[in-house]
Structure 1
Amino acid sequence: MSQAHTSTEVATQKLREAILSGELLPGDKLHQDRLAEMLGISRTPLRAALTALAQKGLVSYASNRGFYVREFSFAEVSGAFEVRAELEALACRLAAGNMTDEARRHLADLVAEGDRLLSPGALLPENLADYRRMNVNFHTAVMALSGNAWIMEFVQSLHNVPAASDRVIMWRDFRVLERSHDDHHRIAHALSKGQGERAAALMREHITFALEHLHEQMKLYPQDFLRMPSFDKPAKGRSGQRNRRTT
């Protein structure tokens, strides 16, 4: 693999993560000089990365505007959540028949890592990246255990709708985080017992609840979230910081 090709892949991954984590919001103009400095990459692979992400639908381009982060309507986000919920439920159903001692230990270790990160009674800012990584790894592990590569491929494409990504974590309300991580516990337990239908139902509810909570948070704190069409009567309350999102 050539160095140029490797640099482009690194640039694409860094830019994608910046968008999915909320560091770059939909509608943000992607100034190449500023991005190159922010991500620590040169302009040549950055331009290739922008083109690649435009082809995948995460970035848009207009002749009079240049590259900018694509904006999604709430209906599009809801549709992505609904499809993701069904695909990951299917992954659970299939994964239950493929469990090994190693797979059980891996899921248990991920859940334990989440317990450790939440043990202070809050998701501390310095622990957010690690919790997000644990969450991504948990969902990825279940899909890998399904043995169906199409599930992973289609779900990965759904992650190009930032709010529907498994990198999105609501951490304003710790009780919501506790509930979400409790879902991880119950999904892992059901899979360890080979209970595919139960695990599928838990995963579907896990992702559906994330959508419902996102909807409520967008109404309460519209300035914190994606630049989507506003709801009829958004709350007036404001947060002192931009909310970092993760499911």
Structure 2
Amino acid sequence: MKGKTAAGEATAALREMILSGQLHPGQPVRQNHLSELLGISRTPLRTAMATLTQDGLLSYEENRGYRVKSFSVDSIIKVFEIRAGLEAMACRAAVRCGIDNATIEELDRLVTIGDRILSSGSLDVADLPEYRQFNVRFHDTIINAAQNPWLHEFVGRTHNVPLVSDRIILWEPDDFALIQRSHDDHHRIARALRNSDGERAAAIMHEHVQYAGEALVDRLRNDPEETFRKLAFSPPTANTCQKDQ
């Protein structure tokens, strides 16, 4: 990676680490450690950290360096409410714009992926990266179908609050019922959109996002340390930013 490309890829990699819970709110961000972990030099990493500070994902203090920005539980609740409303709006807009067959087929394909991953009646730790990827693509597909760049931007802003992103999955072997409930919502949302029922899709999506927020907030209030331990993520590997070159 060189120049702007290196900085851009470093920004994307670090953003993913924050949004997926690999770096927790309040956690210091050490340049030397990240440089070695991601296989990038410190120059593009510094640029990435400055960018993410402007975006509100990191905070910087003189003589203390960078930390992942922390948000109160009350703030997380409010942002989940906004995200739920915006993604419900995306469902209505997608139908109003005339959701096409290609989008419906993509949603069906993604739901089938989720079915396969959960078919054993459990969510294996080895399947977490694929499940997270499928979940993000499902939501992104609907937001893109709304054909509203402002809506897309505002949903993206809600993801700049760590723990609110759709990349976050609370997971433990005993949590399968929660995962299955969430995936059942995917089925019902896709079916409503296939039937051009934007209001029903919107209602299910609003509940889908709101429920995820309530489950997260309940755990944060009861045991924040355990909650962070149970955040599901795909551990980064060296040269993460270079693998797609």
Q: Shared fold by TM > 0.5?
A: yes
In 1: Cα distance, 2:77 partner to 2:218 partner: 13
The 3-state SS of whatever aligns with 1:24 is coil
**Deviation larger for 47-56 or 15-24:** 15-24
1:136-215 equivalence runs, <5 A? 136-172=136-172, 173-215=175-217
Q: For residues 78 and 190 of structure 1, do their structure 2 counterparts lie closer, same or farther at Cα, with a shift above 3 Å needed? A: same
Q: Could you tell me the TM-score, scaled by structure 1's length? A: 0.90
In 2: Cα distance, 1:225 partner to 1:40 partner: 29
Question: Is the Cα contact below 8 Å between 2:11 and 2:51 reproduced in 1?
Answer: yes
**Deviation larger for 96-105 or 39-48:** 96-105
Give ranges in structure 2 of 5+ residues lacking alignment: 234-245
Q: Could you tell me the TM-score, scaled by structure 2's length? A: 0.90
Give ranges in structure 1 of 5+ residues lacking alignment: 227-241
Letter in 1 for 2:104: R
Name 1:244's counterpart in structure 2: 231
Superposition RMSD on alpha carbons, in Å? 1.4
1:1-247 equivalence runs, <5 A? 3-97=2-96, 98-172=98-172, 173-225=175-227, 242-245=229-232
The 3-state SS of whatever aligns with 1:164 is coil
> How far off is 1:75 after superposition?
1.0
> How far off is 1:245 after superposition?
4.3
In 1: Cα distance, 2:183 partner to 2:223 partner: 23
In 2: Cα distance, 1:190 partner to 1:175 partner: 23
In 2: Cα distance, 1:174 partner to 1:117 partner: 12
Measured against aligned partners, the alpha-carbon deviations of 1:73-107 in whole angstroms (never above 9, x if no partner) come to 01111111010011100000011232222111100
Measured against aligned partners, the alpha-carbon deviations of 1:84-143 in whole angstroms (never above 9, x if no partner) come to 011100000011232222111100000000111111211111111110010000000000
- List, as ranges, runs of 4+ consecutive aligned residues in structure 1 with deviation greater than 4 Å: none
In 2: Cα distance, 1:245 partner to 1:80 partner: 21
In 1: Cα distance, 2:108 partner to 2:44 partner: 39
Question: Higher RCO, 1 or 2 (CA under 8 Å, sep at least 6)?
Answer: 2
Question: Is the Cα contact below 8 Å between 2:90 and 2:146 reproduced in 1?
Answer: yes
Letter in 1 for 2:120: P
Question: Is the Cα contact below 8 Å between 2:35 and 2:42 reproduced in 1?
Answer: yes
Question: Is the Cα contact below 8 Å between 2:25 and 2:69 reproduced in 1?
Answer: yes
